[in-house]
Structure 1
Amino acid sequence: MRAKRLLATIASLTISVSSAMAADFNMRLHTLVKSPHPYNDMAEFMKKTLEEKSDGRIAVQIFDSGQLGQDPAVISELAFGTIDMMISTTSNAAEQVPEYGIFTMPYLFDGMEGITKKIGPGTPVEAHFEKIYEDRGLGIHLLALGASGARNLATKDKPVNDLADLAGMRMRTPPSPMDAETWSALGMLPVTIAWGELYAALQTGVAGAMESSLPGYSGAKLYEVAPNLALTQHTLQINHISISDVTWNKLPDDLKALVQETATEANELGVEKAIEYDANLVDSLAKDHGVKVTHPDTAAFKAKLEPIQAKLAEKLDLSAEYELLTAK
């Protein structure tokens, strides 16, 4: 039986390698997260669609779970063309694209339903960020913006029921000034920690709190070190699908159109999967992993933050993005 399984695995790998060798364009696709997660569902969709609809001219190899590195380093690799595409959160790209910081402003969107109509294909928002990529000379091309779930707060030592419970907690943030300013305004102490180092940081007490999407929290098993989940739903996790300019410029026009169309469809799938995961994960986290779930009054959070939003956007030089996203 073992021999048969081994032969089947070798055969599968041989077919995969042969397919890649036969392709005109071999693409390495990065995600930072472990499955189940919308980003990996999106990656699988892109691989399947691009390989089938290109008649084998494109082959895609997925590297999930940060196998190719953390996001800031991967973005740099995209510029050199050593990695071809990535699907990830915009907050982790804030070092190279500071304007992405606007998406971590809490309570900026009403909800997941219809989010792509606000930031998706053909919108002023997407066009704005496409131009920023070009103007900054990042060496990467923005394919699509989407959303992959609401972000919630989780803590190591005590549950959060109201704003007072946040005071003095060491809050993990990505390298995003918006995050740091926001959580500081709520009385917390921001600590910048890479996603791949977060489990250890919570385990050792370097951080006492974190926030993420539910699939991110579950997939990385962060409930083991931060078992108190507060459903603050403070932001929607906005994601980007980006491709190396080196790769993009090699593609003929028909394959460019296919890659663009596929990325747009992948983001629609990401929204659907995020809604599905969010609906199911809260119950399973509580039942299967003993997570203590609380429901803080988000009106109090909004009331605390709303008066400072415009000022915060101005302070961080994000007024143009804030006005674009809040325009009726």
Structure 2
Amino acid sequence: MRLSRRASLGLSAAALALLSSGAAMAADYTLRVHTLVKSPHPYNDMAAAFKEQVEAESGGAIEVEIFDSGQLGQDPAVIGEIGFGTIDVMISTTSNAVQQIPEYAIFTMPYLFQDMDQALEKVGPGSAVEAHFQQVYEERSVGMKLLALGASGTRNMSTVSVPVEGPGDLDGLKMRTPPSPMDSKTWAAFGMLPVTVAWGELYAAMQTGVADAMESSLPGYTGSKLYEVAPNLALTAHTIQVNHTSISQRTWDKLPEDMQAVVLAAAQAANSFGVEKAKGYDDALVETLKTEHGVSVTVPDKAPFIEVVSPMQVQLAEELDLVEEYKLLTE
């Protein structure tokens, strides 16, 4: 049977209406995800994995939009927006959240973990550390819910002009730190002069002499092209970077229980995925930095660095009121 042109147009309009209805159903919830970093970086890989799993497991009921490279702002401002529910999810380093969660400072304690696998075992899903920080979020009323903690690479040192072979090379250098008392006290122990600089302002700070030295993950160092202003890389591996995936409490409360379960499972899976990605990045990026960007790489003996910081660990935990967190991570 042939349809008239008018009937065909009517059917087409109905089909479009049906498709539009389906699209509306698919967008029942939209999660805006923030990362601070440029690719390649485990945080962006984690965000992509989170998006894929959430959209698939929710049957399309949740749409995930990723905003990387600090498009939505620097971490402190984003945390405030998450509290209001205008940004839904963030994946970032715990060190950038110490103003709101001072207990996160424990994760910048040098040589706390042997490697990323041990870090994930200590802080990952079902751990006492994860449960502790979920409770801290509630007690501090930060407007966020902790979905997962993970490990995303070693943090290493780089300088503008001084190749670092040992602790003696650090004396007198202006060391960039995030707003973390643990970082400031640690680097001061090496005779360095800590200066607090936001991540987004770090390139300019190194370029203009506000800071002489910095420390970061290798993906962060590479993705932000910090090798251009700090071309001397020392593989100190002084900390294993711990990251958090947090969601706005307001957003969480709007989700039905079955969708909450989907989001939580995806966040935890993404953190495990991030560990494996971070391992690969650390190995590959060192070679890339040397061969493609002319970075001078040193591999200092860790023992002299550990000798300086080990006696400080208990003292720092006491001074910064982090004794409970230190015990959870070392027992």
TM-score (norm 2): 0.92
2:64 maps to 1:25: no
Residue of structure 1 equivalent to 2:41: 37
Residue of structure 2 equivalent to 1:91: 95
Alignment partners' CA distance in 2, 1:156 and 1:20? 52
Alignment partners' CA distance in 2, 1:21 and 1:181? 52
Residue of structure 1 equivalent to 2:114: 110
Letter in 1 for 2:195: V
Shift of residue 19 of structure 1? Answer: 5.1
Residue of structure 2 equivalent to 1:237: 241
Alignment partners' CA distance in 2, 1:113 and 1:56? 33
Alignment partners' CA distance in 2, 1:65 and 1:19? 28
Does the C-alpha gap of structure 1 residues 321 and 119 become closer, same or farther in structure 2, counting only changes over 3 Å? same
Does the C-alpha gap of structure 1 residues 84 and 307 become closer, same or farther in structure 2, counting only changes over 3 Å? same
SS of residue in 2 equivalent to 1:68: coil
2:230 maps to 1:248: no
SS of residue in 2 equivalent to 1:211: strand
Letter in 2 for 1:285: L
Alignment partners' CA distance in 2, 1:290 and 1:171? 23
Shift of residue 22 of structure 1? Answer: 4.0
Residue of structure 2 equivalent to 1:281: 285
Shift of residue 113 of structure 1? Answer: 2.1
Alignment partners' CA distance in 2, 1:301 and 1:135? 36
CA contact (8 A) 2:45 2:274 kept: yes
2:312 maps to 1:308: yes
Residue of structure 2 equivalent to 1:139: 143
SS of residue in 2 equivalent to 1:186: coil
**CA-to-partner distance for each residue in 1:139-195, whole Å, 9 max, x for gaps?**
110000000000000000111111111000000000000000000011100000000
Letter in 2 for 1:140: M
CA contact (8 A) 1:230 1:296 kept: yes
Shift of residue 297 of structure 1? Answer: 1.2
Matches within 5 A, 1:174-185: 174-185=178-189
Answer with 1 or 2: which has the greater Rg.
2
Q: Gaps spanning 5+ residues in structure 2: where?
A: 1-18
Alignment partners' CA distance in 1, 2:46 and 2:131? 22
CA contact (8 A) 1:120 1:146 kept: yes
Letter in 2 for 1:152: N
Alignment partners' CA distance in 2, 1:140 and 1:20? 27
Residue of structure 1 equivalent to 2:66: 62
C-alpha RMSD of the superposition: 1.2
Shift of residue 49 of structure 1? Answer: 1.2
Residue of structure 1 equivalent to 2:53: 49
Alignment partners' CA distance in 2, 1:119 and 1:20? 38
Q: Between the two proteins, what is the percent identity of the paired residues?
A: 64
Matched positions, count: 311
CA contact (8 A) 2:119 2:240 kept: no
Alignment partners' CA distance in 1, 2:113 and 2:180? 19
CA contact (8 A) 2:35 2:70 kept: yes
Aligned with residue 224 of structure 2, among 212, 220, 224: 220
Aligned with residue 195 of structure 1, among 194, 199, 207: 199
Shift of residue 20 of structure 1? Answer: 7.4
Residue of structure 1 equivalent to 2:7: none
CA contact (8 A) 1:19 1:59 kept: no
SS of residue in 1 equivalent to 2:71: coil
Matches within 5 A, 1:127-166: 127-166=131-170
SS of residue in 2 equivalent to 1:113: helix
**CA-to-partner distance for each residue in 1:83-139, whole Å, 9 max, x for gaps?**
000000000000000000000000000111243221111111000000000001111
Residue of structure 1 equivalent to 2:12: none
2:88 maps to 1:80: no
Alignment partners' CA distance in 2, 1:235 and 1:268? 18
**CA-to-partner distance for each residue in 1:51-78, whole Å, 9 max, x for gaps?**
1111111001100000001001101110
TM-score (norm 1): 0.93
2:211 maps to 1:207: yes
